Amino acid sequence: MCRWLSYVGDPVYLEKLVFEPRHSLVEQSLHAEQAKTPTNGDGFGIGWYDERPTPGLYREILPAWNDPNLRALAHHIRSGLFFAHVRASTGTHTSRTNCHPFAHSNYLFMHNGQIGDYPLVRRSLEGMIEDEFYEGRQGSTDSELIFCLMLTLGLKDDPHRAIRRTIEVVENEMKVRGATAPFRFTACLSNGKSVCAIRHASDDKPPSLYWRKRDDHVIVVSEPLDTETASWTAVAPNHTLHVEGDLVVTEDATLACH
């Protein structure tokens, strides 16, 4: 399983979270504590927003701990909304196009989890993606497929419905095709102004998800970045967490994003 973080708040250099904390994301790429596998070395990626409406993106197949370019970029890039992700593949090959985050227009998306028995449903789910978004698909992961389905199902117009419908479509197709492995979906999405994080699973084991608010920022993470355990709040299973640009945080049990 992958590890990721998102940040919303006063602009900071990416290294502040990616490298500096005791249990930073780079540390988690080597020694994750709440993941199925402790090592997440199948590539990494960062995505960030600045003065432009579309995000910057850097993805690489090297392990995060072994790429000097990541350290240099994180030292120089300053952003008030960014994503970072370290990957542990669930079956698809290691390539830049399979590394998270994924971007389309002003959106960023990243994911931890998997569509159970993905080969059984991949072809039928891909057939549901509109041409506009299928043509923009670069990799082969179930994560990018989910993102394309969200876009197809109206993410730009009604994110509430798109997230719910995507989960319903995936789980229904799994049932139709006889998939028995669970669908696990802890993900994060941004339009450049706010962040929506989702913690969901078709069984009782959704991947971990936490958040913490300070005066000038909110961080959403797969697992805490430090030992201040009381300062981190776990997102409940089958809930969404929404963080506005003004740092208002709401948690919703309906799998809807405001």
**Coil/strand/helix, residue 140:** coil
Q: Give residue 254's pLDDT.
A: 63
Q: Structural domain of residue 88, as residue ranges?
A: 3-253
Q: What are the beta bridge partners of residue 186?
A: 112, 199
Which helix (H) or strand (E) covers residue 176, if one does? helix 159-177
Residue 99 in any domain: the answer is: yes
**Coil/strand/helix, residue 74:** helix
Q: How far apart are CA 215 and CA 106, in angstroms?
A: 27
Q: pLDDT tens across 190-233, in order?
A: 999 999 999 999 999 999 999 999 999 999 999 999 988 889 99
Q: Give residue 91's pLDDT.
A: 64
Question: What are the tokens at 137?
Answer: 């698909």
Active site residue 196: no
**Coil/strand/helix, residue 72:** helix
Residue 15 contacts residue 225 (beta carbons within 8 Å): no
* Overall size of the chain counted in residues: 258
pLDDT in tens, the chain (258 residues): 799 999 999 999 999 999 999 999 999 998 888 876 778 778 999 999 999 999 999 999 999 999 999 999 999 999 999 999 998 777 677 899 999 999 999 999 999 999 999 999 999 999 999 999 999 999 999 999 999 999 999 999 988 889 999 999 999 999 999 999 999 999 999 999 999 999 999 999 999 999 999 999 999 999 999 988 889 999 999 999 999 999 999 998 866 554
> In the chain, how many domains are there?
1
CATH number at residue 54: 3.60.20.10
Residue 258 in any domain: the answer is: no
Catalytic residue among 2, 148, 188, 196, which? 2
CB atoms within 10 A of CB 253: 10
Number of H helices, E strands in the chain: 7, 13
pTM assigned to the model: 0.94
Which helix (H) or strand (E) covers residue 133, if one does? helix 131-134
Q: Give residue 255's pLDDT.
A: 64
